[in-house]
Amino acid sequence: MCGIVGYIGTKNTKEILLEGLKELEYRGYDSAGIAVLQGDDFSDFKAVGKLVNLEEKTKEFITDKFAVGIGHTRWATHGKPTELNAHPHLGESSYVVHNGIIENYVELKRELQDSGITFLSQTDTEVIVHQFEKNLKTSENAFEAFQQTIQEIKGAYAVLLVTKSEPGTIFFAKYGSPMLVGINAENEKYFASSDTPLIGSCSDVNYFEDGDYGYVTADEIIIFDKDSQQKEPVFSKLSTNKLSAQKDGYRFFMEKEIYEQSTVIADTLLGRLGEDEILFDELPGDLFDGVNEIKLCACGTSYHSALSASYLFERYSKTRTSVEIASEFRYREPLMSKDTLFVVISQSGETADTLETLKMAKQAGLKTLAICNVDNSSMVRLADATILTRAGIEKGVASTKAFATQVIVFWMLSLYVAKSKNSLSSQKIAEHIALLREVPASVKVDDEMHEKLKRLSKRYLHGHGFFFIGRDIFFPLALEGALKLKEISYLHAEGYPSGEMKHGPIALADPELFTIALLPKHLHYEKAKSNVEELSARDSTICAISAEEFSKADDFIQIASHEHYMLEFFEMMVVLQLLSLEISVRLGNDVDMPRNLAKSVTVE
Ligand code: F6R
């Protein structure tokens, strides 16, 4: 995802900004830029692609005196990765960089355009700088104009702004996106959106809290809180280990990515939830016209999210849905009819088998849609339409937050179609939207739960196999739970529909067969429970996950009591991810880079 750096001091500002941006490269980006104010001279540089392109552009640029500078790496969300869309964004005499999403940018942009302002980019960010300059015309000073601007924007943001009207100052604001300021003995000030760029340059850092805003000069750091009360910075010592800083203190990237699901899901939802409708501005209005069937095609974890989607599409959108494993689909001479919307799902957008099926569908004249995490990837470029999942870069080879955000997109999409087909009432859609808003809280990792799973994991390091079982949409979740465990523990695990066990697999039941049973309270509870009882009667070791007490289990993991099965789905997803992680840790495996696996499978 996007990264921010900022600097006030007398050293080589250009180098400091570029070095800082390099430290944020691991987060993923598709364009970058810097703006530097030295005295009265403003200079800005932007480049698409890797940072070497920006370095090349700034080769002749010299920064050898006191300066303020801001820099940004952009992971495209609103608008393609182009130079015009890259940050910093320029007004008449100010620049801004921003992480997050401005939810009310459409209204603000319209008002600004009506007052004669020309926008150069397609981004939501550009409204900040124009709104600031508009306010500057009627304010006492730049800070007042900035404060007013922050009160006018809605959404999630970490913002840095520099302006000629107050040289030597960086204005900042933070809400929902991380940002910190660092200091050192040489009286320099550094900003960044995570620790890593500051390691080695700063001794102490202040992490801004949601609602904080203010300004920093060479001599002072002025912070106001969400109630506009001035407060003192709270400094803490900065770690000196870069790799662990990239992991934000977690042991593994996979663990960090499990923990950040709450935040990335909030990003996936941002700007897309209306009162009783889903807003996918990125979709052409006629995408579903004449569509009688949806065909979903993917590999691995993305295939599991597609399977989950099929339950939602048939249940809520009343649209016939089929799901295909890409490597099978491409060689089985499939029949494709033009009333089918062909949807590919991929974290990377580069998986060779899935990409090939997209080409086949296009060739057959089908409408196509990509659900993808990486803008400008091959699938995004090829498909007629795209919904980005906004999960940020996923480093752990075992996919976690990508899966979570894909299912969220599918849930939203099923409601989007339901609205256009009138298959759900507005009131029902509004109820679902209220539930969607609860997901970020439901996937927050509970420390006690994590501790319990750590302890429990020691009982599941052997045996002759695992069955993860569930019914309905919990069947694909069971498949995903089994895949996670296989990938990082190297133990044999299968996902199975609970009701199918007695048609064969139950023959394996004995105390060394571990059954991980998903028992949602709000979906076929009694049916799923009796399936588990059948296994328990045959002495299989049962680990049940449910909100309801279940006496037949050897181990019981109690989730919170939710009002809807989809919230149970997301909380159980976290439990399964953590359980696999802890088993893998106990077995001494490389959690982030399991043997024989690659993050992006670009060969068939
Ligand atoms: C599992 C995993 C893989 C991928 C699969 C498809 O944890 O990561 O199964 O889901 O290789 O990759 P994408 O989604 O990039 O097409």
pLDDT number for residue 171 = 98
Mapped onto helix, strand or coil, the DSSP state of residue 201 is coil
The answer on 427 and 451 residing in a single domain is no
**By CB neighbour count within 10 A (0-12 exposed, 13-18 middle, 19+ buried), where does 65 fall?**
exposed
Distances (CA, A) of 352 to 97, 239, 355, 389: 35, 40, 5, 20
Nearest-atom index, ligand 1, CA of 399: 7
Whole-angstrom distance, CA of residue 72 vs CA of residue 94: 15
Shortest-distance Cα residue to atom 10 of ligand 1: 301
Q: Is 2 considered catalytic here?
A: yes
Nearest atom within ligand 1 for CA of residue 304: 10
User: Ligand 1: does its nearest atom lie under 6 Å from the Cβ of 348?
Assistant: yes
| Same domain for 125 and 90 | yes
Q: Please state, as a whole number, how many other Cβ atoms lie within 10 Å of the Cβ of residue 348.
A: 21
Identify the CA nearest to 183 among candidates 161, 172, 168, 198: 198
State the pLDDT at residue 604: 64
User: What domain range is 73 assigned to?
Assistant: 3-240
Give percent of the chain above pLDDT 90.
82
Quote the percentage of the chain above a pLDDT of 70: 97
Test site for ligand 1: of 253, 302, 395, 573, most ligand atoms within 8 A of the Cβ: 302
pLDDT in tens, 555-589: 999 999 999 999 999 999 999 999 999 999 999 99
Q: Probe ligand 1: pick from 324, 347, 377, 382, max atoms within 8 Å of CB?
A: 347
Whether 599 is a known active-site residue: answer yes
The best mutation among 351, 374, 410 to test binding of ligand 1, ranked by most ligand atoms within 8 Å of the C-beta, falls on: 351
- The CA 143 to ligand 1 mean position distance, Å, reads 47
- Which pLDDT band holds residue 79 (cuts at 50, 70, 90)? confident
Rounded distance from Cα 346 to ligand 1 centre (Å): 7
378 CB less than 6 Å from ligand 1?
A: no
Task: Centre a 10 Å sphere on the Cβ of residue 170 and count the other Cβ atoms it contains.
Answer: 23
Segment of 23-32, 99-108, 443-452 carrying the highest mean pLDDT:
443-452
Per the residue annotation, which of 57, 242, 359, 599 is the catalytic one? 599
DSSP conformation letters of 514-566? EEEEEE-TTSSHHHHHHHHHHHHHTT-EEEEEESS--TT-SEEEEPP--SSHH
The finding on whether 373 has its CB within 6 A of some atom of ligand 1 is no
Residue with the two structure tokens 């805003």: 213
Q: Which atom of ligand 1 is nearest to the CA of 403?
A: 10
pLDDT of residue 393: 80
Please tell me the distance between residue 180's alpha carbon and the centre of ligand 1 in angstroms: 33
pLDDT number for residue 239: 73
Overall domain count for the chain? 3
Query: Which region among 10-14, 37-41, 411-415 has the lowest average model confidence (pLDDT)?
Result: 37-41
- Ligand 1, atom 9: nearest CA belongs to which residue? 300
- Considering the domain architecture, whether residues 523 and 562 belong to the same structural domain is answered as yes
Residue 487 CB less than 6 A away from ligand 1: yes
**481 within ligand 1 shell (Cβ under 6 A):** no
Q: Check whether 602 has a pLDDT greater than 80.
A: no
For ligand 1, the distance from its centroid to the CA atom of residue 300, given in whole angstroms, is 5
Q: How far is the CA of 275 from the centre of ligand 1 (A)?
A: 33
Torsion sign over Cα 303, 304, 306, 307: positive
CATH number at residue 87: 3.60.20.10
Cβ–ligand 1 distance for 301 under 6 Å, the answer yes
- Residue 595: predicted pLDDT: 85
Residue 374 binned pLDDT confidence (cut-offs 50, 70, 90): confident
Residue 245 reports pLDDT greater than 80: no
Kindly state whether residues 133 and 191 are assigned to the same domain: yes
Which of 194-198, 278-282, 297-301, 434-438 has the least mean pLDDT? 194-198
60, burial (CB in 10 Å: exposed 0-12, middle 13-18, buried 19+): exposed
Q: How many Å lie between the centroid of ligand 1 and the Cα of residue 301?
A: 5
Average pLDDT of span 167-174: 96
Alpha-carbon gap, residue 257 to 400, rounded angstroms: 7
Say whether both 77 and 216 belong to one domain.
yes
Marked catalytic residue, from 2, 202, 297, 299: 2
Under the banding of pLDDT at 50, 70 and 90, the label for residue 603 is: low
CATH number of residue 594's parent domain: 3.40.50.10490
**Mean pLDDT, residues 337-345 taken together:** 97
Q: Which atom of ligand 1 is nearest to the CA of 600?
A: 15
Instruction: Indicate whether 164 and 236 sit together in one domain.
Output: yes
Domain end call among 417, 444, 471 = 444
pLDDT at residue 262 in the model: 95
Q: Domain check: are 303 and 344 in the same one?
A: yes
Question: Domain end: 412, 429, 444, which one?
Answer: 444
- Residue 24 is given by DSSP the state T
pTM above the 0.85 mark?
no
- Span 494-504, pLDDT tens digits: 999 999 999 99
Same domain, 70 and 206: yes
Query: Beta strand 94-102 with 89-90: parallel, antiparallel or unpaired?
Result: antiparallel
Phi, psi of 363 (to 5 degrees): -60, -35
Q: How much helix, strand and coil, in percent to the nearest 5, is found in the chain? A: 40, 25, 40
Query: Residue 298's pLDDT band (boundaries 50, 70, 90)?
Result: very high
pLDDT of res. 524: 95
Determine whether the shortest distance from the Cβ of 346 to ligand 1 is under 6 A. yes
Distance from Cα 500 to the centre of ligand 1, integer Å: 26
The pLDDT, as a whole number, for residue 81 is 82
Tokens of 134: 């508009």
Residue 443 three-state SS: coil
Question: Nearest-CA neighbor of 4 among 245, 197, 188, 166?
Answer: 197
Instruction: Please work out whether the CB of residue 299 comes within 6 Å of at least one atom of ligand 1.
Output: yes
**With a 6 A CB cut-off, is 218 part of the ligand 1 pocket?**
no
> Residue 263: is its pLDDT beyond 80?
yes
214 & 254 share domain: no
Average pLDDT, the chain: 93
Q: Are strands 555-558 and 541-546 parallel, antiparallel or unpaired?
A: parallel
- Same structural domain for residues 173 and 186? yes
Examine the domain organization and report whether 412 and 560 are in the same domain: no
Query: What are the distances in angstroms from CA 164 to CA 42, 94, 551?
Result: 8, 6, 69
**Do 162 and 256 share a structural domain?**
no
**Is the pLDDT reported for residue 70 higher than 80?**
yes
Does 388 score more than 80 pLDDT? yes
pLDDT on residue 377:
82
18 alpha carbon – ligand 1 mean position (Å): 32
The finding on whether 601 has its CB within 6 A of some atom of ligand 1 is: yes
Atom of ligand 1 nearest to the CA of 348: 15
Average pLDDT over residues 163-180: 93
How high is the pLDDT of residue 431?
Answer: 98
b/e sequence 542-557, b meaning 16+ C-beta within 10 Å: bbbbbbeebeebeebb
Q: Which of 387, 418, 444 is the last residue of a domain?
A: 444
